[in-house]
Chains A and B, each alone.
Chain A
């Protein structure tokens, strides 16, 4: 009898790209849920807009590049990019923010570099960095968390604000509030000491009102991803440990002038970055030690930007800067091959 042949192994692999990406989306659910509870329905509009634009642009680019559309639209990678972007946006950010962000993320950072697997820079962070620079006003207008708000906007108010950019129908000053990191930044520029800045009710015991819950949601999702083997510990631990150690030492050197490590970790997007951004396989390091270095670098640059730089958070820029070092890191952190002397 005759049979067809093929190379070993003679097994169908169990894992798939779309499965990996779907697991990342599941892991974001606790964070999304917390976001909804703290800031209202805005997050769903942001996700809807970003995912919609992302799929549209991905489809368009795949057609233009004459690539198969179906496998790449159904691998969920562009959905992950969009959802992560949405989580970095203010709940009432107008639609053109998402459109611009996805243009940079999907068209420029991803497709123009060769599509899935070939982008040098993290698409989400390219999109976020672009809108931070392009729309500073829109990006600084965060809602007050539920506990400090006279009432979160409902469906229609949210829809109107997001889809038209109009806010006249809202009691804008009452329902918005500067983010904790914005307050820290403007406070220190004015020469205020940390305890004075933390008088603002938006701060909580170890982070910021409501923001803590979202960060805990990311942490829970991230730990789940780690337990499922979807991500490895090196990159997140690089971010978290470096943040704790470096900002801890700095904090102890001047309790009144430097924010505490818990504030650094719980008031911005470092935790989201630790588990969902620096763990992006494509634009991150491929070696175990390289991942640790990559995470460490992201934390160091973020802390530096927060302290010296012109932006309150700085995670997006830190990630993009570290993306540039990945080829170098990979080159010098390769594991020792079996039987080869060091």
Chain B
């Protein structure tokens, strides 16, 4: 079919860094399964949405693929059992983010039989309305697998205008991470077919699959898979420069189209939609095979693990189990990172579980993370300005935040910071810039909340004042009316007589 490649002209995005990839170590070994842990802890309410309605109770036997929660809300993505076994109960497990937090999970004791529920594919999806495809993806528990876990249905169904282009993001730009490349090499047809399904769900006219130019031979592999499709939208495979953070949605869009996503808008506002390649493959599984999203590929790598590799891991598996599957720790691990070295989260414990957004577990040792010298003052060198993909002035932001001038930081567009870490990586003074920005953003959000609360309180206060004045005026008016009435003596006499009669009557009944 149509692999007409109307030569997509690439554009540059500002800043970014060329980083040593470190991907080969985990790509050398073939994709394997991590195997099932004895107990899995399926997070509920892991996405932005709430948990939805619980469908199981402790003691229930569940089959692999069985829905554990359900909801009609696009933001409440259902969770599914990754294995057959018994529900042990609800529990709280350490979560990666925010540090030290805990997350509600359903604990399942795996029985090792791996019995599946009957699959419910949507085989005739090409004939279905887009809304039906989106409903199905929601029911199968799809979220964005690039890391942010944004509910796929909510991204497909929104108040925006027509989407003309679907971008499949395979630009895996952070060092060490290779799960998307592994997926595209091992299941190219699933990515392509998933891309068609997602395109159909928004009626997009064309699909662009973006890879990095250092993923050797992958474009040809995917091209073959595209050629095998016999219908569907135009599909173009584009190799983009391997520059961090190329895989950032906004950077990738600028590279491919030359357009910038409006600062407080979404790609959908300019007719584009971006999905991770792994999300596309999961959409293919969900629609064509009726398989809900219960596992993902996780890169387990770094100098701190024995056998760096890519593993298929069930959602809910403790990270310690993945480390064991990769041969265990090697040397003294100084930091365990969920995600990549540039933007990942340092884990306090390997008891944290794999979620749908966990793409990489990186074990670092002293060699990569030598305890550096104390930060020096900022010398205004501007290396951070040159590196910033959002075209911010990181050193001015730092100076504002270090002096607690948060509103000045807001004026310097602190909220446009994507926390990619490029500035901190090039800083000759070794200032932990991203920490300052995270903290500053949190402070701004808090002060916004305070402002909203204050405004609300003021409105309430004003409403109350109004009500009180009104009531007082009404009371005054009533009193005046009564006074006027009393001055007309006849009426007054009548009323006095009536009051006396009432009092007498009361006294009688009292006796």
A residues at B contact (CB < 8 Å): 1-13, 15-17, 19-20, 68, 71, 75, 77, 115-118, 232, 281-282, 284, 286-288, 291, 330, 334-341
Contact = CB atoms under 8 A, between A and B. Distances in A.
Interface of B: 13-14, 99, 250, 254, 260-263, 265, 320, 329, 333-337, 339, 341-350, 362, 364, 368-370, 372-374, 376-383, 385-386, 389-393, 395-396, 412-413, 416, 419, 421, 424-430, 432, 434-435, 438
A115 B377 CA distance: 9
Nearest to B347: A3
B393 A75 contact: no
A7 B99 CA distance: 10
B315 to A, nearest CB: 22
B320 A71 contact: no
B372 A12 contact: yes
A338 B412 CA distance: 12
B381 A20 contact: yes
Contact of B369 (A11, A15, A17): A11
Which secondary structure characterizes the binding site on chain B? loop
Contacts of B385: 286-288, 335
Contact of B434 (A1, A7, A335, A339): A7
A5 B99 contact: yes
A337 B390 contact: yes
Given A10-B335, A340-B263, A286 B380 contact: yes
B429 A17 contact: yes
A12 to B, nearest CB: 5
Contacts of A2: 348-349
A339 B430 CA distance: 28
Contacts of A330: 396
A11 B425 contact: yes
Given A10-B344, A117-B378, A286-B380, A4 B425 contact: no
A284 B346 CA distance: 37
Interchain residue pairs A-B with the least CB separation, the first 7:
A117-B377, A9-B421, A339-B263, A5-B346, A15-B428, A7-B435, A281-B381
Contacts of A8: 337, 339, 341-346, 419, 421, 434
A338 B260 contact: yes
B9 to A, nearest CB: 20
Contacts of A335: 14, 385, 391, 393
A311 B427 CA distance: 39
Given A8-B345, A8-B421, A10-B364, A339 B416 contact: yes
Nearest to A118: B377
B502 to A, nearest CB: 76
A116 B379 contact: yes
A9 B342 contact: yes
A3 B343 contact: no
Contact of B368 (A11, A19, A291): A11
A32 to B, nearest CB: 23
A281 B434 contact: no
Contact of A13 (B250, B261, B336, B426): B426
A282 B379 contact: yes
Contact of B260 (A1, A71, A339): A339
B428 A11 contact: no
A15 B383 contact: yes
Contacts of B435: 7
A5 B335 contact: yes
A15 B335 contact: no
B262 A341 contact: yes
A5 B343 contact: no
A16 B430 CA distance: 7
Given A6-B335, A116-B377, A1 B263 contact: no
Contacts of B378: 117
Given A338-B416, A339-B261, A5 B347 contact: yes
A200 B411 CA distance: 58
A20 to B, nearest CB: 5
A131 to B, nearest CB: 25
B396 A286 contact: yes
Contact of A282 (B254, B380, B412): B380
A338 B342 contact: no
B262 A117 contact: no
A284 B342 contact: no
B376 A10 contact: no
Contacts of B350: 1, 3
Contacts of A77: 379
B266 to A, nearest CB: 11
23 contacts: A3-B346, A3-B347, A5-B347, A6-B335, A8-B345, A8-B434, A9-B342, A9-B421, A10-B364, A13-B425, A13-B430, A15-B383, A15-B428, A20-B379, A71-B373, A115-B377, A117-B376, A281-B381, A335-B391, A337-B391, A337-B392, A338-B390, A339-B265
